[in-house]
Amino acid sequence: MPRRALDRWQVLRAHVEDGVSWVDLAAHHDIPVRTLQRWHAAYQRDGLDGLTDSPRRDLGTHRLPPELQALIEGLALVKPRASVAAITRRAQSAAGEQGWKPPSYSVVRRVVEELDPAMATLAHDGPVSFRDRYELVWRRAAAHPNDIWQADHTELDVLILDAAGSPVRPWLTIVQDDHSRAVCGYHVFSDAPSAMNTGLALRQAIWHKPDPGWPMCGIPDVLYVDHGSDFTSHQLAVTALELKMRLVFSAVARPQGRGKIERFFGSINTELLPELPGFLAADQRRPTPVLTLAELSDHIGAFITSTYHQRVHPELGISPHQAWTRDGWLPRMPDSLESLDELLLTVPKTRIVHRDGIRFQGLRYLATTLAAYVGEAVTIRYDPRDITEIRVFHDNHFLCTAVDIDHEDQTLTLKDIQAARAARRRALRSGLNERIAVVAKYLPAYAPHRAAPTPQPTATGTSTRQPKLRTYLED
């Protein structure tokens, strides 16, 4: 999604979400009221796509020297705020002195409009206004279920076995409803927090669960997250706009309001994990891992639905399950699970269509539609949880779904592929070492020099620091 569309939305959201009048908004950003209303009409008609400019025939005819553009931007950011007309006069004067072509009013206005609204707020109104407008937008308590959700990660105090059989310390992502304290979704993973892992947690949180005892679902009005790179990703920003979900970031080093989700993490680490094999206790820093990632996920899911959701919450006086369901309301849902997956999970890649299909991750994908596109570049989108099929696009138009014919009846994850490759490399390395040993035994002069063996990872290779749960005082 073009940056300009996101910037225009940042301007419009003050009117759409907070009710700021067109006159006040125009005065604050020095943008004509008619322009703002045109943007708003386009957003109502086409969503975020409506805020993207259509290609213009005269695009590029008003190219500015980089120094002149920087000058115009600087003039727009100095205090006191100057009008576009004043900036134009000053820029034209400087251009005449430097021998540049004087910029027109429309060109100057376009440069000013393209400035980051957050930067303009910081320049003209100071850090406090910037923080209040772009960071500190947080209500203490949600008025109803799905009003505000929180999402966060924590590293768990337990060792498990990964796909290769090595000990790892897993992570947990939680999506929690602020009003009821119910857990709407979660995801357990062995690698570092990422946009994909966040997307998997949000997918479970938003869509219907197979378990009828876990009714939490829907699209929240507000999603409150921190400034981690996975939460600030372009993909999540676009997802929030498409779902009409307001994305709010906590200010750096100012975690007010996060005590609720931190207390849930504390319940996991103090109530559930000590009962499981591999728990990292203070007096046991080298436990023997037993559980797999899937088994640990099952234990956490059972704790959420059977224990945490059913017991009375001390601050609510009722259980999280009762708090979420008591008013008999209907949550706002996406159009389909497929559309939700398209926003949250699929990853785009560019590939060339070959005579034998599309090659990706060592697999070969075929579809009859591809016969007309041999030799051409296409964009594929795939779900890392199942890469036996891919969606193929050409010039941003959907072509077909291509299937890996060798695994069409299976579910194959990207991690399965990576684990299989690692196992294959280990087998080849073992066979190679056996043969080199024979050469070294009988013809040592021809044997290659063997470096010292690489130490194998063990449970002690994980972090030995005492796991510490971050806690914050509630205001």
- Please spell the DSSP secondary structure of 217-257, one letter per residue: -S--SEEEE-S-TTTT-HHHHHHHHHTT-EEEEPBTTB-TT
CA atoms of 408 and 389, how far apart (whole Å): 8
Q: Which of 338 and 296 is assigned the larger pLDDT?
A: 296
390 phi and psi angles, rounded to 5 deg: -135, 155
Residue 236: predicted pLDDT: 79
Other CB atoms within a 10 A radius of the CB of residue 346 amount to 18
Residue 414: predicted pLDDT: 54
Q: What is the mean pLDDT of residues 324-331?
A: 89
CA atoms of 103 and 428, how far apart (whole Å): 66
Residue 62: predicted pLDDT: 53
3-class SS of residue 176: strand
Reported as a single tens digit per residue, the pLDDT across 226-280 is 766 666 667 778 788 888 888 887 654 444 456 788 889 999 989 999 999 999 9
Contacts of residue 31, Cβ cutoff 8 Å, sequence gap at least 6: 11, 25, 113
3-class SS of residue 452: coil
- pLDDT above 60 for 151: yes
Rg of the chain (C-alpha set): 28
Phi/psi zone of residue 395: left (φ > 0), alpha (ψ -120 to 50 degrees), beta? left
3-class SS of residue 456: coil
3-class SS of residue 52: coil
Of 351, 425, 356, which Cα lies nearest the Cα of 382? 351
3-class SS of residue 354: strand
CB of 382 within 8 A of CB of 409?
no
Range of weakest confidence among 44-53, 196-205, 332-341: 44-53
CA atoms of 416 and 422, how far apart (whole Å): 10
DSSP state of 307: I
Of 167, 266, 174, 261, which Cα lies nearest the Cα of 469? 266
388 phi and psi angles, rounded to 5 deg: -75, -10
CA atoms of 304 and 245, how far apart (whole Å): 25
Q: Which residues of 228-247 are buried (b: 16+ CB within 10 A; e: fewer)?
A: bebbebebbbebbbbbebbb
Decide: residue 194, CB within 10 A, 0-12 exposed, 13-18 middle, 19+ buried: middle
Beta strands 363-366 and 358-360, pairing class: antiparallel
Contacts of residue 6, Cβ cutoff 8 Å, sequence gap at least 6: 48, 237, 241
Element (H, E) at 27: helix 22-29
Q: Which residues of 437-463 are buried (b: 16+ CB within 10 A; e: fewer)?
A: eeeeeeeeeeeeeeeeeeeeeebeebe
Of 201, 231, 234, 222, which Cα lies nearest the Cα of 332? 222
Of 332, 144, 177, 150, which Cα lies nearest the Cα of 247? 150
Query: Three-class SS string for 355-417?
Result: CCEEEECCEEEECHHHHHHCCCEEEEEEECCEEEEEEEEECCEEEEEEEECCCCCCCCCHHHH
Please report the domains of the chain, with CATH numbers, ordered by start residue: 3-134 (1.10.10.60), 148-340 (3.30.420.10), 346-404 (2.40.50)
Contacts of residue 145, Cβ cutoff 8 Å, sequence gap at least 6: 177, 179, 180, 182, 216, 323, 324, 327, 329, 331
DSSP state of 335: S
Per-residue pLDDT band for 347 (boundaries 50, 70, 90) equals low
Residue 301: predicted pLDDT: 95
Handedness of CA 156, 161, 163, 165 (dihedral sign): positive
DSSP state of 288: P
- pLDDT above 80 for 399: yes
Per-residue pLDDT band for 57 (boundaries 50, 70, 90) equals very low
Contacts of residue 378, Cβ cutoff 8 Å, sequence gap at least 6: 350, 351, 352, 353, 358, 392, 393, 394, 399
Residue 272: predicted pLDDT: 95
Q: What is the mean pLDDT of residues 158-178?
A: 91
Please give the share of the chain, as a percent, with pLDDT higher than 90: 26
Residue 458: predicted pLDDT: 47
- Between the alpha carbon of residue 155 and those of residues 262, 265, 332, 468, the distances in Å are 12, 9, 31, 9
Per-residue pLDDT band for 474 (boundaries 50, 70, 90) equals very low
CA atoms of 350 and 156, how far apart (whole Å): 36
